[in-house]
Structure 1
């Protein structure tokens, strides 16, 4: 997937570049070296060059000269250098996730490393991203958040190859089901795959809907490969609807915890399913608005959010185990992506615009709660982990406080938004959701190769 550029590698790159600069000022006529000294230094330099080129072959992330037009570590401000220095040291000798490393490697146990070969695309080259996710086009002054790559401790992930992914998806369907953060990830996948398609007009929504449609579902076809990449909006993954007759007057609607979302008829036969849930499971979005929890025909007035969320995941797992052909369909469930509001919430002046760099600290216990619930459900179900691959992105995403749209979600040309209207839930594109999709890519390819 990726390139193994680390803070240690980067410092080595700078050292060799400094050496090359100094060698330009070397005077071969100086009496203490003379021609033999110059010859020796020249040979050493050539040898070092080929050594570095060999390193680049073995470790695809190592780049002697980097990309033109990108920010090199030597030109970073001090706070960015400090963040790179705090990142855990690189580990050598890892196996590739697709060629042996996947047997024992936990791809969610790792660290963020600086990689100057990122991002994998530019937002201005992708017509399939919402204006609200185009942070650089919307006035964000820094691009540091686009340069971090996820590196597992015990293996190397394959670098995302859009052509290969599309070829594997030929005549097939990939569907994302969840909330607006799931949509964020879906749009990231569209942008990643579109890098392999010169004619963007050959990628289109099958019903003629624009990317700005935010209700129901969207299905984009990649005509050259006859495959579709789909999004179905379902914030709770279960049915939300009118309460049963005779319900208390406070009950305006209910979440039917024992019925998976109505759209299942449209997505259950897809070849790859990626679910997410969590952001809408809050008091403000449920009970405060008169939305209570229902099982059968009974409204559970005293059921708490934790129990309700758990039951929704149980319903999803039961549905997948009984109604989805998991021999054909690969199913993934991505865990909660933490928000990073400071000084308030989304509607009380919370902010994150000053968070320009990752925080490599551990995941707090209160954030771990949703992950534990999902993991617990899968563990207790007799087929849980057999039919659903859990994508535990919560710890790695918690560290990426720098990647939110914050002030920069009002569309190109509108500039930063007001300080009291920041978005610290959704993510800039390119950015963190691309990493989630690199994990999807790795899991997808591993299953494909295991069957070939």
Structure 2
């Protein structure tokens, strides 16, 4: 009879150990819904879809993390200084993903993770818009930030407390292009695009950056390159025949630039930001198009504005996104799909508040770029969450 309690005790101990081992193996599959405040290199939470969701009024709305005094502002986007209407309302909306939480970027945590690293934005002025937002956010954690322009960068900043560099390389087509004065195919003043050569503004960055964010698209239109001054596409130093049209040329450039990026930056964390949608209403930018809205669009309105089948003035984003998605399939470049969340925000552009007296009469309303503080700050939140996860899993 004395052996039974001992046997029972042994059985209980062994059973308990087995259960502990079993559940310890399951735990990584069920991460906490509240990620820790510091990134973990061992078991960060898996990524969720940050790109689908809705904008809601934030009941805990606070003032934006930066204001009009940020030295990295570009005047036309500094909507507080330019006294744009409803700026408090614009910044009271919060993007809420459908199946997870989007945490506001913590500039101290961000730069602690990115200490001794470098982040590069390459593309057109919408990536510059993105950069300015990020620079102003990060400056909160290092007021000694200095302007930085090296390696062909258009603009940027160095944060000495964290030895972090964040910069933008202006390469609107990504590929090399220049205006030819000689006649080609009977047309003078054409713009030559070498589809297989990256623009010099970023062709020599080598392995300088740890994170790269690419974009292109807003210059791929006949408003930038009209038919009397067209793009002519070259490969291997000779014209491509038959001559591609604008979107065909973009597709060729994307294929070649993606190939170059994969070859030249194999160890770099790479993102490709999908298009930032425009919100011209009643005409294009040079046709008295306007974006004087006080509210975001409703979900049912998005296709009316952006579906190419409706042939509206803002159809370019979805058209170009299809080409980008196809180009980076099965590569190490990650999609940074900020298009959908931005489509709602017709209310958040500089519009007529451009900081210069005659800007609207010359250039029309700006319904393409974004007020700062504003929507690009949400882009920064998304980018931060993805970087935080990706660097934590390396």
TM-score normalized by the length of structure 1: 0.69
Deviations 1:286-324 (A, max 9, x none): 243333222231145631222111122212211121111
Deviations 1:384-424 (A, max 9, x none): 2xx1110111111111101100011125xx69955983111
Matched residue, 2:273: 334
Distance 1:124 1:94, change over 3 A: same
More displaced stretch, 183-192 vs 418-427: 418-427
Matched residue, 2:196: 258
Q: Is the 8 A contact 1:351 1:419 kept in 2?
A: no
Aligned counterpart for 2:82 among listed residues 117, 138, 143: 138
1:222-261 correspondence to structure 2 within 5 Å: 222-242=159-179, 247-251=184-188, 252-261=190-199
Deviation at 1:245, TM superposition (A): 7.3
Q: Is the 8 A contact 1:275 1:332 kept in 2?
A: yes
1:422 and 1:104 mapped to 2: Cα distance? Answer: 38
Matched residue, 1:405: 350
1:193 counterpart = 2:138: yes
Matched residue, 2:234: 294
Deviations 1:93-113 (A, max 9, x none): 993578999636211111112
Q: CA RMSD in A?
A: 2.8
Matched residue, 1:447: 390
1:134 and 1:164 mapped to 2: Cα distance? Answer: 26
1:193 and 1:153 mapped to 2: Cα distance? Answer: 27
Q: Is the 8 A contact 2:47 2:389 kept in 1?
A: no
2:321 and 2:148 mapped to 1: Cα distance? Answer: 35
Indicate the SS of the match to 1:155.
Answer: coil
Matched residue, 1:220: 157
Matched residue, 2:378: 435
Q: Is the 8 A contact 2:123 2:173 kept in 1?
A: yes
Deviation at 1:274, TM superposition (A): 0.7
2:47 and 2:127 mapped to 1: Cα distance? Answer: 28
Distance 1:420 1:206, change over 3 A: closer
1:358 counterpart = 2:301: no
Distance 1:94 1:311, change over 3 A: farther
Indicate the SS of the match to 2:328.
Answer: helix
Matched residue, 2:102: 157
Matched residue, 2:367: 424
Matched residue, 2:260: 319
1:94 and 1:359 mapped to 2: Cα distance? Answer: 33
Deviation at 1:121, TM superposition (A): 2.1
2:149 and 2:363 mapped to 1: Cα distance? Answer: 37
Matched residue, 1:77: none
Distance 1:260 1:405, change over 3 A: same
Structure showing the higher helix proportion among its residues: 1
1:200-211 correspondence to structure 2 within 5 Å: 200=143, 202-206=144-148
More displaced stretch, 355-364 vs 441-450: 355-364
Which 4+ stretches in 1 moved above 4 angstroms? 96-102, 242-246, 414-420
Deviation at 1:170, TM superposition (A): 1.3
Distance 1:194 1:415, change over 3 A: farther
Q: Matched residue pairs, number?
A: 340
TM-score normalized by the length of structure 2: 0.79
Deviation at 1:242, TM superposition (A): 4.9
Matched residue, 1:369: 319
Deviation at 1:205, TM superposition (A): 1.8
Distance 1:153 1:420, change over 3 A: same
